[in-house]
Amino acid sequence: MVVEVEETKPDYFVIARNLAANTLPERERAFKYLKNVFQKSSTLTRTEALCAWKGMFFMMWHSDGLEVQEQLAERMAKIIFMLKNDKSKMNFIQGALEIINREWTGIDRLRMSKFMLLVRLLFRFSLETLANNGWPLGEVHWFIGVLSAGPIQFHQPVGKSSCPLGLRYHFVDLWTEELLRIGGSKAEKPMPAEIAHELIFCWAKVAAQTKIGPFRQKIVKLILEDMIERSEPSMEVMRKAGEENVNIAETVSGHGGRRNTAIGL
């Protein structure tokens, strides 16, 4: 007779406490154990993700040295590739953003850069996950929905559920660069036009609704105007303008006229 022994469920509260331990060896052991748990688990619930990220947040908090911090941020963000199903990956990202959103205003100036890098890598690897899945519209909508509970907000930063302006600004800063890196026309798996539209239009709605002037201006300049300038019609206009400028310069030069430095010729 074979007796099935039920596997002991990991205690995420204990793991989180050990991730936030005072000594580096304790934190590293806890992180190694956490990755092992993620590899073996068939699912990751939202509660488990929140608990794990609470510990990882303070593990990052305690990390010292630029190279160590960069490596740790990458190790944490790359956990998404270890998870076995899309639901677990979604919970992982949602848990990360909820904890970072909650703790952002308590991060001091000396620690801010490593958390900004962590946020960037989480966004980048989330996009990679979407790209690896073929940019499914449903998953993209879910991802935008998660971000809408965080940085993609139009209202004033008031209340517990509100995202701090600093975190919103950071997402605006990195958005276009990371979209082009993972889903641009020169990327390994370019995103379809429909997906690109969704990932830009979400910010257009925020810009239209927000009453925070500097926030609106930043969105318009760094995301909307930048994407318009990169669009094929805009590129064609610039190419034609460049050709016309060359022709004008040659014509003026051929007639012995002066170069028109006002328009950069």
Per-residue pLDDT of the chain (265 residues; tens, 9 = 90+): 444 434 577 899 999 999 999 999 999 999 999 999 999 988 999 999 999 999 999 999 999 999 999 999 999 999 999 999 999 999 999 999 999 999 999 999 999 999 999 999 999 999 999 999 999 999 999 999 999 988 999 988 877 778 999 999 999 999 999 999 999 989 999 999 999 999 999 999 999 999 999 999 999 999 998 877 776 654 555 466 556 554 434 543 444 443 332 323 2
Q: What is the pLDDT of residue 156?
A: 84
Kindly tell me the burial class for residue 22, based on how many C-beta atoms sit within 10 Å of its own C-beta (0-12, 13-18, 19 or more): exposed
Q: Number of helices (H) and strands (E), helices first, in the chain? A: 12, 0
Closest CA to 100 of 118, 87, 77: 118
Calpha distance 264→60 (Å, rounded)? 48
| Per-residue tokens: 145 | 């929905």
| Per-residue tokens: 60 | 């990052």
Q: What is the pLDDT of residue 231?
A: 65
| Per-residue tokens: 261 | 């430095």
Give the CB-side neighbour count of residue 261, counting CA atoms within 13 A. Answer: 1
Distance of CA 246 to the CA centre of its chain: 41
Q: What is the pLDDT of residue 226?
A: 84
Q: What is the pLDDT of residue 92?
A: 96
What pTM, to 2 d.p., does this model score? 0.84
